[in-house]
Structure 1
Amino acid sequence: MTDPDLSDLSALVAVAQTRNFRAAATMRGVSASALSEAIRRLEARIGVRLLNRTTRSVTPTEAGKLLIERLTPALGEIAGALDSMNSFRDSPTGTLKLNVPVIVAERILPPIINAFLAAHPGITLEITASDTFIDVLAAGFDAGIRYDERIERDMIAIPIGPPTQRFVAAAAPSYLSAHGVPAHPRDLVNHACIRHRFSSGYIPHWEFERNGQVIKVTPKGPLIASTAEMEVKAAIDGLGLVYTFEEFLAEALASGALVAVLSPYWQSFTGPRLYYPSRKHMPAPLRAFVDFIKASAKSPSK
């Protein structure tokens, strides 16, 4: 039996972590067919089936579990050894993979990552924007960005971007002229509301707050969308009220295309946080990014 290729062994661990060939292929930057061929090649060389495959799932066999348990720390040591070479370079190299919410990817990260990449030309930053909360490590990401209530307690989290954000309610002047201006969140039951559906299928309530009292409203209206861009455009066109991150509405509010309503009841919350696992050997690209974010927070110009 010839010795298995290291990349094939790494492919096995990736598939076992994600339990999905397509997700593992995306994580490794290869096609699903290439990954499947790597597993077949590995099984042929070892002479043992390592994965049970069905149309719905991929699970390790008993032999696969044993091999993966031994491989995972070994591959981690190899990656750490290679990454340690970064200490001999003027600037670290490698790829940093982040999973972040859409609002962060579109409105918060651009100026941050532009400055970071200018300071670290040897690093490639790969960003996946998703509002679905996932196990970032199992999915092959180095770190994630989320809001406090969605961060696991065993993670290290540091602020990134604005310390606070808020949701803003607004509508087009034409809509308000035709339907009136709501004076209280409860008035929204008599208004058309443009709602948001997350990729998980969840349609959130609208939450407002004043003097410590939280007011939840179940909005109704003619449109349920999955992107803020579509929701804001619909509001500008007079379809109804929108309630979303202030950053998404700033331009329309400044131009007068939208008018803010219910401002005493807007809900503020803590800004996003970069989170990552506590581990002894942090990959150099992630360490550089964490150090950059911490240094930026201390800078008086920020």
Structure 2
Amino acid sequence: MSDLPLSDLDAFTAIARERSFRAAARKRGVSASSLSDSLRRLEERLGVRLLNRTTRSVTPTTAGERLLAQLAPALGEVAAALGALDNFRDRPAGTLRLNVPTIAARLFLPDIACRFLKLYPEIELEIVAEDTFIDVLAAGFDAGIRYDERIERDMIAVPIGPRRQRYVTAASPAYLQERGMPQHPRDLLEHSCIRHRFLSGIGLTWEFERGGETFAISPSGALTSNSIEIELAAAVAGLGIISSFQELLEPGLASGQLVAILDDWASEFSGPYLYYASRRHMPAALRAFVDFLKLERQRAPLG
């Protein structure tokens, strides 16, 4: 009996409560004949009469009274569960799970997240920051943040954060005094460079550009890390040359702890994107976040 149609059980409950086919039909917005058909099917499947009906009245049988007493609370829970889905379909509510690179979590995502959550207090935002570049959908995330070269196919991409960024190369004054100032990117091959490697094992290639000329090297040096904090501390301590996002090096450059190298060769690249799968029924929390990003972009385009 586990395959009884829920609609037939709901029809029986409505008729038994209203004690009238017509009243139940009005409340359900259906015809009285359709409710009668549902009740007939249910009684045939169960092999027991549930309602006594005459031209004047409808009353539950003993079996019908017992079924109604047990069925009504269960159907109420089903209705509540289905009603709760409105939070995810119509209202911006629920949990939004994002997978983002650590650089996004450090440079711009906190400010964006705070402004978004103030507008939508019923949304819970879960951010996982890592540099493994996993399949975000397979891992159960609603969306991810990536730079364009890492955005998967068949995904929708929406700009988020700064639209242009720079990689800057720098070293401490003590290091440059001892080893000299590089004049061309190829000179870096003769220097000790502080390398960044992701947890996936992928190491960063240093890329440079000037006047249409490009140059790329795989740096070598005594230190390799996946932690920008370690890399920055090592550069300030004079261990070698560092190359990273300009925003990360700016405090050291401003304080004089670091000196820019090959600044006219600094490479620029396009900013990150929020990306997600194209789907007909987008979760309300994700839709709200996408609309929020688009609106912020219109109000104050990011450089």
TM-score normalized by structure 2? 0.70
8 Å Cα contact 1:169-1:262 kept in structure 2? yes
Secondary structure of 1:99's aligned partner: strand
CA distance in 2, matches of 1:83, 1:221: 55
Equivalent AA in structure 2 for residue 84 of structure 1: D
The alignment's C-alpha RMSD in Å is 2.1
The residue aligned with 1:146 is 146
CA distance in 1, matches of 2:256, 2:236: 10
The residue aligned with 1:211 is 211
Structure 2 segments unaligned to the other structure (5+ residues): 4-80
1:240-279 equivalences under 5 Å are 240-279=240-279
Shift of residue 166, structure 1, vs aligned partner: 1.2
Equivalent AA in structure 1 for residue 86 of structure 2: S
8 Å Cα contact 1:83-1:284 kept in structure 2? no
The residue aligned with 1:84 is 86
TM-score normalized by structure 1? 0.70
The residue aligned with 2:180 is 180
User: Sequence identity, in percent?
Assistant: 56
8 Å Cα contact 1:194-1:231 kept in structure 2? yes
2:200 is the counterpart of 1:200:
yes
1:115-126 equivalences under 5 Å are 115-126=115-126
Cα deviation 1:117-141 (Å, max 9, x = unaligned): 1111111111111112211111000
The residue aligned with 2:136 is 136
Shift of residue 2, structure 1, vs aligned partner: 9.2
Secondary structure of 1:167's aligned partner: strand
Equivalent AA in structure 1 for residue 188 of structure 2: L
CA distance in 2, matches of 1:273, 1:169: 24
Secondary structure of 1:214's aligned partner: strand
The residue aligned with 2:23 is none
8 Å Cα contact 1:80-1:281 kept in structure 2? no
8 Å Cα contact 2:90-2:284 kept in structure 1? no
- Number of residue pairs the alignment of both structures matches: 225
8 Å Cα contact 1:196-1:225 kept in structure 2? yes
Shift of residue 158, structure 1, vs aligned partner: 0.8
1:1-302 equivalences under 5 Å are 82-86=84-88, 89=91, 92-300=92-300
Secondary structure of 1:97's aligned partner: strand
**Structure 1 residues 202 and 163, CA, compared in 2 at 3 Å: closer, same or farther?**
same
Cα deviation 1:204-237 (Å, max 9, x = unaligned): 2211112222211121111001111110110001
Equivalent AA in structure 2 for residue 271 of structure 1: G
Secondary structure of 1:215's aligned partner: strand
8 Å Cα contact 2:87-2:284 kept in structure 1? no
Equivalent AA in structure 1 for residue 229 of structure 2: E
CA distance in 2, matches of 1:80, 1:141: 23
Secondary structure of 1:293's aligned partner: helix
8 Å Cα contact 2:88-2:285 kept in structure 1? no
Equivalent AA in structure 1 for residue 131 of structure 2: D
**Structure 1 residues 191 and 296, CA, compared in 2 at 3 Å: closer, same or farther?**
same
8 Å Cα contact 1:159-1:271 kept in structure 2? yes
Shift of residue 243, structure 1, vs aligned partner: 0.4
Cα deviation 1:26-46 (Å, max 9, x = unaligned): xxxxxxxxxxxxxxxxxxxxx
